[in-house]
Chains A and B, each alone.
Chain A
Amino acid sequence: MADFVGNQKIVATDLNAALQDVIPYLVLTGTDDGGGGTGDCAIQVKDAAGNDLAERFLIHTWIADAEYSEPDAQTDFSVATGEEMDEVEANADYLAIADATGLVGMDIENAGGGTVYVMAQIDGRIYSSGAISITA
């Protein structure tokens, strides 16, 4: 069939290109400061090709003591990059406006040290930073 010849064949790269900017996802990167009970988590919006999606997004983000759990307030959890839109629960649960590069940065403080998890939601999907070990 001619449909399978040349440019009329749909391959995975064609599908990715069509979807690229339409379906964003989030990448969370947690960092420990190595002492003082502080750390941070960067939440970057990506396109389907894995590029930073430089648009403004409203992101729901929270911190917890267990992965994919409800929010658990810490000594501090606050918006450092981007802007706080709504505080759902102090030091625990926020709506944040991404900056022009699609980035939200969250400061973390857990005075006694320990493992925390940051979650973020967009389009209904929840993404996790995985374990962030904060050193006291």
Chain B
Amino acid sequence: MGFLKNTIHRHEDLTTALRQQTAYLLLSITDYGDLTGRAVIVLRIASGVGISGGPRFLIRTWIADADMSEPDAQTAFGVGSEGEQMYEHEEFADYTVITNAGCAVYMNIELDASKKIYVMAEIDGRIYSSFGTITGP
């Protein structure tokens, strides 16, 4: 592997090197109190640091009324100020998105009533989720 020196390695070295190549997603949801909010999806590598200046990632993300459930369309759900929409699988519910240069995507959320919602995102087959309660005035 190109990221390992051509020398004898310990098990710990190999584990560290391999896991640093593993990406995972962090999701967080912010409520704005006016039936809108935002989900931030950030890609990290296993050491916990972000990736910048490198490749962009393609992430599938959807919103639902239950955790790990199929998409449920809301009043609005779409790419905000960071990232770019690649495909719309279901309007206001299910998208494939391209991350920004910092490996982040912002998804805007709008509901028709205060409730708890879940945002899921998938990369490399693994699904990550977060939940938040979006409230109204």
Which residues from chain B contact A3 at a C-beta distance below 8 Å? 7-8
Interface of chain A residues 17 through 57 with chain B (CB within 8 A): 17-19, 22, 24, 45, 55-57
Verify if B110 is at the interface (C-beta below 8 Å from A): no
Verify if B19 is at the interface (C-beta below 8 Å from A): yes
- Count the A residues whose beta carbon is within 8 Å of the partner chain — how many? 28
Verify if A97 is at the interface (C-beta below 8 Å from B): yes
Closest residue of chain A to B14 (Cβ to Cβ) is A18
Bound state CA distance, A59 and B60, in angstroms? 12
Bound state CA distance, A22 and B14, in angstroms? 13
Contact segment of B47-55, B77-85, B122-130: B122-130
**Are the C-beta atoms of B127 and A14 separated by less than 8 Å?**
no
> Binding site of B, secondary structure by majority: helix, strand, loop or mixed?
mixed
> Binding site of A, secondary structure by majority: helix, strand, loop or mixed?
mixed
Bound state CA distance, A123 and B18, in angstroms? 16
Distance of B122 from chain A, by nearest CB (Å): 5
**Are the C-beta atoms of B11 and A123 separated by less than 8 Å?**
no
Closest residue of chain A to B129 (Cβ to Cβ) is A56
Q: Mark A52-74, 1 if CB is under 8 A from B, else 0.
A: 00011111000000000000000
Say which residue of B8, B19, B127 sits within 8 Å of A97 (CB atoms).
Answer: B127
Which residues from chain B contact A56 at a C-beta distance below 8 Å? 68, 126-127, 129
Closest residue of chain B to A19 (Cβ to Cβ) is B18
**Are the C-beta atoms of A15 and B70 separated by less than 8 Å?**
no
Bound state CA distance, A14 and B122, in angstroms? 29
Contact segment of A83-91, A106-114, A128-136: A83-91
**Are the C-beta atoms of B8 and A7 separated by less than 8 Å?**
no
Verify if B10 is at the interface (C-beta below 8 Å from A): yes
**Are the C-beta atoms of A58 and B122 separated by less than 8 Å?**
yes
Say which residue of B7, B11, B22 sits within 8 Å of A7 (CB atoms).
Answer: B11
**Are the C-beta atoms of B69 and A1 separated by less than 8 Å?**
no
* A10-B14 contact in complex given A4-B8, A58-B125, A83-B70, C-beta closer than 8 Å: yes
* A14-B14 contact in complex given A1-B8, A57-B125, A86-B89, C-beta closer than 8 Å: yes
Which residues from chain B contact A14 at a C-beta distance below 8 Å? 11, 14
Leading 8 A-B pairs by shortest Cβ distance: A3-B8, A56-B127, A18-B15, A14-B11, A122-B125, A58-B122, A57-B125, A18-B14
